[in-house]
Amino acid sequence: MPEFQRGKSPPIDEDNPMTNSADPPITTDDHAEAVRQWFALLERYCAAADYDTAELIVADDVASFGTAMDIVRGRKPLREGQWESIWGNISNFKMDLENVHAMGRGDMAWGMVTWTSVGFDGNHKPFYRPGRATVALERRDRVWLAVHTHFSLFPGTPPRTFGTGD
Protein backbone atom coordinates (compact mmCIF):
# COMPACT_ATOMS: atom_id res chain seq x y z
CA MET A 1 0.00 0.00 0.00
CA PRO A 2 1.27 3.49 -0.77
CA GLU A 3 1.97 5.91 2.05
CA PHE A 4 -0.50 8.77 2.27
CA GLN A 5 0.14 12.43 2.87
CA ARG A 6 -2.49 14.57 4.55
CA GLY A 7 -4.82 16.04 1.94
CA LYS A 8 -3.32 14.03 -0.91
CA SER A 9 -5.26 11.27 -2.61
CA PRO A 10 -3.56 7.98 -3.46
CA PRO A 11 -2.52 7.44 -7.08
CA ILE A 12 -5.35 6.87 -9.55
CA ASP A 13 -5.67 3.36 -10.96
CA GLU A 14 -6.81 3.91 -14.53
CA ASP A 15 -7.78 0.21 -14.80
CA ASN A 16 -10.25 0.50 -11.92
CA PRO A 17 -13.06 2.84 -13.03
CA MET A 18 -15.28 1.78 -10.09
CA THR A 19 -13.14 3.57 -7.55
CA ASN A 20 -10.66 5.77 -9.42
CA SER A 21 -8.19 5.03 -6.63
CA ALA A 22 -5.43 2.57 -5.88
CA ASP A 23 -7.81 0.62 -3.64
CA PRO A 24 -10.06 -2.01 -5.18
CA PRO A 25 -13.75 -1.79 -4.30
CA ILE A 26 -15.00 -3.92 -1.40
CA THR A 27 -16.60 -6.96 -3.07
CA THR A 28 -16.15 -9.83 -0.61
CA ASP A 29 -19.11 -12.14 0.06
CA ASP A 30 -18.21 -12.24 3.78
CA HIS A 31 -20.34 -9.62 5.55
CA ALA A 32 -18.02 -9.21 8.55
CA GLU A 33 -14.98 -8.92 6.29
CA ALA A 34 -16.72 -6.26 4.19
CA VAL A 35 -17.30 -4.20 7.34
CA ARG A 36 -13.71 -4.69 8.53
CA GLN A 37 -12.36 -3.64 5.12
CA TRP A 38 -14.61 -0.58 5.11
CA PHE A 39 -13.39 0.54 8.54
CA ALA A 40 -9.76 -0.08 7.49
CA LEU A 41 -10.17 2.08 4.40
CA LEU A 42 -11.93 4.86 6.28
CA GLU A 43 -9.15 4.81 8.90
CA ARG A 44 -6.57 5.46 6.17
CA TYR A 45 -8.59 8.14 4.43
CA CYS A 46 -9.37 9.95 7.68
CA ALA A 47 -5.74 9.84 8.82
CA ALA A 48 -4.67 11.28 5.45
CA ALA A 49 -7.58 13.78 5.32
CA ASP A 50 -8.27 12.26 1.90
CA TYR A 51 -11.88 13.34 1.42
CA ASP A 52 -12.10 12.57 -2.30
CA THR A 53 -11.16 8.92 -1.96
CA ALA A 54 -13.29 8.47 1.17
CA GLU A 55 -16.33 9.53 -0.84
CA LEU A 56 -15.84 6.44 -3.02
CA ILE A 57 -16.79 4.06 -0.18
CA VAL A 58 -19.94 5.96 0.79
CA ALA A 59 -23.28 5.87 -1.04
CA ASP A 60 -24.49 9.15 -2.46
CA ASP A 61 -27.70 8.82 -0.41
CA VAL A 62 -25.95 8.05 2.91
CA ALA A 63 -27.68 9.13 6.15
CA SER A 64 -25.35 9.93 9.05
CA PHE A 65 -24.78 11.25 12.55
CA GLY A 66 -21.43 12.53 13.74
CA THR A 67 -19.46 14.35 16.40
CA ALA A 68 -19.79 17.64 14.49
CA MET A 69 -23.32 17.38 13.13
CA ASP A 70 -26.86 16.19 13.63
CA ILE A 71 -28.66 14.06 11.08
CA VAL A 72 -27.35 14.65 7.59
CA ARG A 73 -28.33 13.06 4.30
CA GLY A 74 -26.01 12.82 1.32
CA ARG A 75 -22.32 12.32 0.71
CA LYS A 76 -21.52 15.99 0.10
CA PRO A 77 -23.18 17.22 3.34
CA LEU A 78 -21.40 14.42 5.26
CA ARG A 79 -18.06 15.48 3.84
CA GLU A 80 -18.63 19.19 4.43
CA GLY A 81 -20.37 18.92 7.81
CA GLN A 82 -18.34 16.18 9.43
CA TRP A 83 -15.17 15.13 7.68
CA GLU A 84 -13.82 18.56 6.71
CA SER A 85 -14.42 19.99 10.18
CA ILE A 86 -12.71 17.10 12.00
CA TRP A 87 -10.15 15.17 9.96
CA GLY A 88 -7.68 18.02 9.43
CA ASN A 89 -7.85 18.93 13.13
CA ILE A 90 -6.89 15.55 14.62
CA SER A 91 -3.93 13.19 14.38
CA ASN A 92 -3.19 9.49 14.94
CA PHE A 93 -6.69 8.32 13.98
CA LYS A 94 -6.88 4.54 14.51
CA MET A 95 -9.76 2.07 14.40
CA ASP A 96 -9.53 -0.99 16.65
CA LEU A 97 -9.63 -3.30 13.63
CA GLU A 98 -8.88 -6.37 15.76
CA ASN A 99 -12.20 -5.90 17.56
CA VAL A 100 -14.74 -5.08 14.86
CA HIS A 101 -18.18 -6.53 15.63
CA ALA A 102 -20.10 -7.19 12.42
CA MET A 103 -22.75 -9.30 10.77
CA GLY A 104 -25.16 -9.15 7.89
CA ARG A 105 -27.57 -10.90 5.60
CA GLY A 106 -28.12 -10.67 1.87
CA ASP A 107 -26.99 -7.33 0.53
CA MET A 108 -26.86 -5.62 3.96
CA ALA A 109 -24.10 -5.64 6.57
CA TRP A 110 -23.52 -3.66 9.73
CA GLY A 111 -20.70 -3.28 12.20
CA MET A 112 -19.28 -1.31 15.06
CA VAL A 113 -15.82 -0.51 16.32
CA THR A 114 -14.06 1.79 18.75
CA TRP A 115 -11.42 4.25 17.61
CA THR A 116 -8.89 6.66 19.04
CA SER A 117 -7.30 9.88 17.89
CA VAL A 118 -5.46 12.88 19.25
CA GLY A 119 -7.40 16.13 19.43
CA PHE A 120 -6.09 19.61 20.14
CA ASP A 121 -7.59 22.08 22.60
CA GLY A 122 -7.98 25.82 22.00
CA ASN A 123 -4.31 26.31 22.90
CA HIS A 124 -3.33 23.53 20.44
CA LYS A 125 -2.28 21.17 23.23
CA PRO A 126 -2.97 17.50 22.44
CA PHE A 127 -5.56 15.41 24.26
CA TYR A 128 -6.73 11.80 24.01
CA ARG A 129 -9.86 11.61 21.86
CA PRO A 130 -11.55 8.16 21.89
CA GLY A 131 -14.84 7.25 20.29
CA ARG A 132 -16.99 4.62 18.63
CA ALA A 133 -18.49 4.11 15.21
CA THR A 134 -21.21 2.13 13.52
CA VAL A 135 -21.72 1.58 9.82
CA ALA A 136 -24.45 0.02 7.72
CA LEU A 137 -23.31 -1.20 4.32
CA GLU A 138 -25.38 -2.08 1.30
CA ARG A 139 -24.06 -4.09 -1.62
CA ARG A 140 -24.83 -2.20 -4.83
CA ASP A 141 -23.66 -3.64 -8.15
CA ARG A 142 -21.46 -6.09 -6.18
CA VAL A 143 -19.70 -3.26 -4.26
CA TRP A 144 -20.23 -2.56 -0.54
CA LEU A 145 -20.99 1.11 0.22
CA ALA A 146 -21.90 2.84 3.48
CA VAL A 147 -25.56 3.85 3.59
CA HIS A 148 -25.39 4.91 7.25
CA THR A 149 -22.53 6.01 9.52
CA HIS A 150 -22.48 7.19 13.11
CA PHE A 151 -19.30 8.44 14.78
CA SER A 152 -19.38 9.73 18.34
CA LEU A 153 -16.96 10.53 21.13
CA PHE A 154 -16.83 8.62 24.40
CA PRO A 155 -18.62 10.50 27.21
CA GLY A 156 -16.38 13.08 28.85
CA THR A 157 -14.22 13.66 25.77
CA PRO A 158 -13.92 17.33 24.78
CA PRO A 159 -16.28 17.85 21.85
CA ARG A 160 -14.09 20.23 19.82
CA THR A 161 -10.65 19.91 18.34
CA PHE A 162 -8.80 22.91 16.95
CA GLY A 163 -5.83 21.37 15.19
CA THR A 164 -2.14 21.87 15.82
CA GLY A 165 -2.15 25.56 14.96
CA ASP A 166 0.36 25.04 12.15
| Tens-digit pLDDT string for the chain (166 aa) | 233 333 433 343 333 333 446 789 999 999 999 999 999 999 999 999 999 999 999 999 999 998 788 899 999 999 999 999 999 999 999 999 999 999 999 999 999 999 999 999 999 999 999 999 999 999 999 999 999 999 999 999 999 999 998 8
pTM of the model: 0.86
Supply the pLDDT for residue 72: 93
Supply the pLDDT for residue 4: 32
Supply the pLDDT for residue 21: 63
Supply the pLDDT for residue 136: 99
Asked if 161 and 120 touch (Cβ cutoff 8 Å), the reply is yes
The bridge status of strand 91-95 relative to strand 108-120 is: antiparallel
Supply the pLDDT for residue 7: 42
**Structural domains in the chain?**
31-153 (3.10.450.50)
Residue 36 CA to its chain's centroid (Å): 12
Task: State how far the Cα of 152 lies from the Cα of 166, in Å rounded to an integer.
Answer: 26
Asked if 119 and 85 touch (Cβ cutoff 8 Å), the reply is no
